Structure 1
Amino acid sequence: MGILSIGVQALQANQAALQTAGNNIANVNTVGYSRQRVILETVPGQFTGGGYIGKGVNIQTIQRNFDAFLTRQATLTASTAAADVTRADKLKQLEGIFGGGANGLGASISDMLNAFSDVASAPTDLTARTVVLTRIDETAARMRAASQSLDELQTGITQELSQKVDAVNSLARNIARLNQEIAKVNGNGQPPNDLLDQRDQLVRELNQYVQTTSIPADDGTVGIFIGGSQALVLGTNVSPVSLVKDEFGDTLKNKLSINRNGVSIPLDENNLGGGEISGLLRFQNTDLNEGRNLLGRLTLAVSTAMNNQNKLGLDLDGNPGGNVFTAASFGAVNILQPVPPAILNTGTSNLSLGISDVTKFVASDYEVNFTSGTAGSITRRSDGVKTAFDFGTTNPVVIDGIAITEGNLGGAAAGDRFLLKPFSTSATNIASQFSTPRALAVASPVVGLMGSTNTGSLQQVGIVARDNPPTNVPVTLTFTGPNSYTRSDVAGTFTYTPGQAIQGTEPATTPLSQWSLTLQGTPKAGDTFAVRAITDPTLSVDVKLNAGNATAMMNLRDVAMFDGAAMTDGYAGLISQIGIRTQSANYAATVSTSIAGNLEKDRAGVSGVNLDEEAAKLLQYQQAYQASAKMIQIAQNIFDTLIQGLGR
């Protein structure tokens, strides 16, 4: 009977091996399936005087080929790649919004400013004036179109985030369900391979959305943690995630939050690691926000500079100019609204914004932190630079060309915070302000007149109004020599330097006021130069034929405005900054995708099914099965012979 028993055991073992190999072949294309193999063990032999006699084979277990380290590394790198690829794809869309060429926003700004050259040549030509207004309207339309495209991109990201958060919660619930099933069968001493494969695959899918850390428990379940240490799944319990606004209630930003026992816990974006949600959040809260700020800065600087300059001129009817674009509007979000009462500021202070100097704008949001009723620090979020302030000493506080005024002075409480977003919505409703060409203020309110008896080589380079109308004219400069002059409005002798501007006030004010005059050449003693209002009745000057302000508008092209670059180069700088981000993100995505692919190959090399290998095993197990069957046949023959012998 010993050989019969050994044969039966061998037959069963090889049958299991054949079945397992067949199962491997059947699941060669099943996602998440790990190759299995039968682990056999020798049955302890029976002792006899002649030694131990073998008693056959047992099936110890069905083992899945699984490497925990490779699986963890492949999952982690795939999560990182998912974040990088997602961000890179969105940055490509952002880059596409800011197109170049003749149809780009930069070209429209240049065309708008260049159009003033024709008006400067023929200030009464209504056709030339109409072209300027058309260019202004086109520029405003392109600014609005870019802003609307950013809004559409924002809406799409919000929808994607919502869908992916739902997917995370669904996967977490399925992992918890599998945890329960695995825990139930964990006590039988054999691993539930298929259930383990299913759970591992769900974990891999979960990491495509958000990077996780898995910690196994003694009962066979696994804990899933996100954001560093927040438990998403513990055993069979799930803490769902959701999207919430940040602590300032900023409608343009989202944070991932986990809900535990009814309490929402916002997760630090920097601790999320990889995953598509992390990539989307980083793009939305950083890249897209910078894109908005860059566009908003460009819009606010150009429109404000144009408005201010047009107000310094006179239209065809001799009236002071108005805005050519809609007036600037700022966004200021503070912790008082719309955050629920549990985390409100405790003070009563409020902040308002104004423009100090458009040439100093930085494309950034600002966080104001009070340490007392009037003092604290302002953090420029784009680079983290902090600036101390004290409204009690200086109100408003000026930073990067933005004037911040504290209302209800001293009403802030220590710990109160405000988020200032001066540029995020500047381009949303930008439009040309008027449509009549006569209202374009191209005439300068001040003119310069050379003395009729001058004998030197004095020449006027340019005269620019700083106020409209200037209140200190007429002013006569009388030169006492080649390098000095006196003024009719201020006592004293002043130094003359060719090409250096002479300001309307002495000493010059900050900001400049009245007018600015630039002369060149060498005057002789007794030479004069007069600054007059163009509306001075003693002058025989037709205001309609003056184009001084048109020239000033055209000269805005070369004003250093955007990080030292000229106004007409501002859009090129915007494209450059977005392009650098996109290039960097593409490189990161390429590298992380390559690393993830290599590690996945390594993991698949251990856990994946090799059809050639399995086919060879089938032949091996088939021969062993046939030999086992032959062993049973021989045992049967021996038994039959024995029975026949006993029958005699």
Structure 2
Amino acid sequence: MADLLSTGVSGLLASQVGLSTVGHNISNVNTAGYTRQTTTFNARAPQYNGGYYVGQGADAISVQRAYSQFLTQSVWSASSGQSRASQYATLTASVNNAVSGSANLQTALDGFFGSVSDVANAPIDTASRQAMIGKANTLVATFKSLSSQFQQLDQQTNQQISAAVDSINSLAKSIADLNGQIQKGYAGGAVPNDLLDARDQAVSQLSQIVGVNVTQTSDHMYTVSVGNGQPLVNGTNATQLSTANNQYDSSRLEVVGPGGSVISSQLGSGSLGATFDFRTNVLDPARNQLGRAAIAMTDAFNKQSAQGIDLNGAAGGDFFNIADPAVFNSTANKGTGSVTATVADVSKLDASDYVMRFDGTNWSATTTAGVTVPMTGTGTAADPFVVGGLNVTVGAGAVAGDSFQIQPTRNAASTMSVAVSDTSKIAASGPLAATKGASNTGKGVLGNLTVTDVTNPAFNTPATITFTSPTTYSINGGAPQTYADGDTITGPGWTLKLTGSPAANDTFSVKPAGSASGDNGNALAMANVATKGVLDNGVTTVGKAYSQLIAQVGTAGAQANTALTAQQSILDQATASQQGLSGVNMDEEAANLLRFQQSYAAAAQVINTANTIFNSLLTAVQG
């Protein structure tokens, strides 16, 4: 009965392995990355016994994962896409929150221009003037607040980039270590299932940070590359990535591979790729658009202020201050050349950043995206390069290969300030004032005095309009001209509208406005800056520029949310397919547990039966 005993023992041992496997599955039902394991059984070779074969039981020959490399890699790919979409949507939402938050620029613009209109209604009222300065400071504070929020987001992207690189390096080392352990496991003659799961889980976590490409070698080790083919893991060796300051702007980080090569643009999918894409496609354009609006506001308002007269009789000065475009030299430059830039034509200023390059003979300009930009001039102070509304001057000393980055608008809003603190310095008065002669006897009434050309050589020459009859007049004794009720009288660089019927010898005068003038001509013009086309060749107002900012960020947010919904669906489908094969099903495991429990008990009964028969034989022999 030794054969029967051996058969029963084999069944007992096989069922025990099955029970252990089921127990392992049940214990790891909540373990991330765990793959369901199954036990494979084989019948032992039968024993020939006089014309027939008698079976000798069963053996558990392997414990295998319910695993599909195709389905697993599909999950990695989908996870990478979903993580990218999620990160992009989250970061874009933060920009949306900034532009739609309490620091609403449109409200500040409306408040400021409303205060300018109040000054126009009461040109010499100190309270109105003080309110205008207060509203100007509020406007500047709003520009700066939004700029500060964008800068904080930029710093947060740096922190996320640094943290992501640390995680990539840690996971790469873990995968390389697991490669070594798995190789040793296979060398021992068994499949190290749990180590394989641990490695796949590490790759899954890596795929959420950056897109991965995984191949398996003949010795069961993974070779992993990221992005557009950057090697990361080769056998038991892991490449370490690092971060470095951007070659132009030291305030932002880039990812570099071995040898210091910048690979930021090659990272593709995953949360890290999304962070760089967000910075390039959403954050930078938003910062540039905000700065463009600040420059447009400053330029348009200052130009109009310069056409007026303040309460002291002096020509109006700048009402706002703002910094010139920022220029950064590349850390790779070998020469000693320099580049400076100023805004020459706001109407041609767009939201691009530029790179100026020197080939040893000629300079060229492109956007940071690599698009060639038309450029005129020679780069001297007398004949600067004209690039996208900028005047660019280059100093001597550059050598072939040197380059410079120009950020015309990036941080402009953060440098904006109010230049006027003295209420008397507000140039509310027009440069000219019209008065009616004190001895006039007719019914002529002064209307609007409009400046048409401040560059006219005789613009500031006092003019006296003398009516020789109710229908004729001359200017400073010049040729007689005809007049009818409501006509506009034209002078050197100005026009004056009169109504009514003057009498003979009535006079009207137009002369430069004096100090403490109650004229509101320039205040009205400054208030009209709100509706004046400044940007995009004189089409876009400052307020519309801000609306464009809100629209572009809102559109990016909507697109990001749509992409996230799609990627989440793809991930859910891939995960469901993979888990359908590899996931632990508790109902199935409960059934298997009962099955192996019963087979174990039955095998034990076979052993007991063999023992009973054997004891009966011994008793019979002894008797």
TM-score (norm 2): 0.86
**Alpha carbons 1:446, 1:470 under 8 Å: kept:** no
**CA distance in 1 between partners of 2:223 and 2:590 (Å):** 38
What is the aligned partner in structure 2 of residue 559 from structure 1? 532
Q: Percent identity?
A: 31
SS at structure 2 position matched to 1:386: coil
Distance in 2 separating the partners of 1:268 and 1:168: 14
Give secondary structure in 2 for the equivalent of 1:369: strand
Unaligned runs of 5+ in 1: 479-486, 489-498, 505-514, 522-528, 536-540
- Alpha carbons of 1:608 and 1:323: their partners in 2 closer, same or farther (altered >3 Å)? same
CA distance 1:616–1:607, change in 2 (3 Å)? same
Give the 3-state SS of the residue equivalent to 1:292 in structure 2: helix
**CA contact 1:228–1:272 (8 Å) conserved in 2:** yes
Match of 1:622 among 569, 589, 597: 597
Quick one: which of 574, 583, 595 aligns to 1:599?
Answer: 574
Distance 1:390 1:311, change over 3 A: closer
Look up the equivalent residue of 2:72 and give its one-letter code: T
Q: 1:392 to 1:99 in 2, by over 3 A?
A: closer
Pick aligned residue for 2:413 from 414, 424, 427: 427
In structure 2, what is the equivalent of residue 227 of structure 1? 227
Quick check: 1:328–1:426 contact (8 Å CA) kept in 2? yes
Q: Deviations over 1:210-267 (max 9, x none)?
A: 222222222222122112222222222222122222332x134322122x3xx22321
Deviation at 1:194?
0.9
Instruction: Measure how far apart 1:176 and its partner are.
Output: 2.0
Could you tell me whether the CA contact under 8 Å between 2:325 and 2:343 is conserved in 1? Answer: no
Q: What does residue 504 of structure 2 align with?
A: none
The number of residues matched between the two structures is 592
Q: Secondary structure at the match of 2:324?
A: coil
| Aligned match of 2:521 | 548
Which residue of 488, 512, 528 corresponds with 1:534? Answer: 512
Counterpart for residue 256 of structure 1: 255
Matching residue of 2:471: none
Whether the 8 Å contact between 2:5 and 2:606 is mirrored in structure 1 is yes
Supply the AA of the counterpart residue of 2:521. Answer: G
- Distance in 2 (CA, whole Å) between partners of 1:105 and 1:413 is 44
* 2: CA distance, partners of 1:461 / 1:70: 80
| 1:231-380 correspondence runs (5 A) | 231-248=231-248, 250-258=249-257, 260=258, 263-269=259-265, 271-335=266-330, 339=331, 343-344=332-333, 346-371=334-359, 373-376=361-364, 378-380=365-367
Partners of 2:123 and 2:519 within 8 A in 1: yes
Give the aligned residue type for 2:344.
S
Shift of 1:534: 0.9
CA contact (8 A) 2:25 2:37 kept: yes
Q: Residues 297 and 426 of structure 1 are in contact (CA less than 8 Å); yes or no, is this contact kept in structure 2?
A: yes
The verdict on how the C-alpha distance between 1:62 and 1:45 changes in structure 2, with shifts beyond 3 A counting, is: same
The one-letter code matched in structure 1 to 2:8 is G
Which residue is 2:179 aligned to? 179
Kindly indicate whether the alpha-carbon contact (under 8 Å) linking 1:464 and 1:548 is maintained by their aligned counterparts in 2.
Answer: no
For residues 44-75 of structure 1, what are the alpha-carbon distances to aligned partners after superposition, in whole Å with 9 as ceiling and x for unaligned? 33345524433322222100111111111111
Distance in 1 separating the partners of 2:403 and 2:491: 41
- Seen in structure 2, the aligned counterparts of structure 1 residues 392 and 100 have a Cα distance that, compared at 3 Å, is closer
For residues 363 and 434 of structure 2, the distance between their equivalents in structure 1, rounded to whole angstroms, comes to 47
Q: Deviations over 1:273-308 (max 9, x none)?
A: 222222222223332212211111111111122122
Which residue pairs with 2:470 in the alignment? none
Deviation of 1:413 (Å) = 4.3
Map 1:16-95 onto structure 2 (within 5 A): 16-47=17-48, 49-95=50-96
For residues 549 and 233 of structure 2, the distance between their equivalents in structure 1, rounded to whole angstroms, comes to 44
Q: Deviations over 1:136-161 (max 9, x none)?
A: 11111111111222222222332233
SS in 1 for 2:67: coil
Q: Which residue of 2 aligns with 1:197?
A: 197
Cα distance in 2 for partners of 1:620, 1:79 equals: 40
Q: Residues 399, 477 of structure 1: CA spacing in aligned structure 2 closer, same or farther, 3 A cutoff?
A: farther
1:176-210 CA-to-partner distances (Å, cap 9, x unmatched) read 22222212222122110111111111111122222
TM-score when normalising by structure 1 = 0.83
RMSD: 3.6
Task: Name the aligned partner's letter for residue 177 of structure 2.
Answer: R
Counterpart CA distance in 2 for 1:172 and 1:123 is 70
Q: Is the 1:95–1:575 contact (alpha carbons within 8 Å) kept by the matching residues of 2? A: yes
Q: Measure the CA separation in 2 of the matches of 1:287 and 1:644.
A: 92
Query: 5+ residue gaps in structure 2?
Result: 466-474, 477-486, 500-506
Displacement after TM superposition at 1:460 (Å): 6.0
Distance 1:477 1:96 in 2: 59
Out of 16-25 and 163-172, give the one that drifted further.
163-172
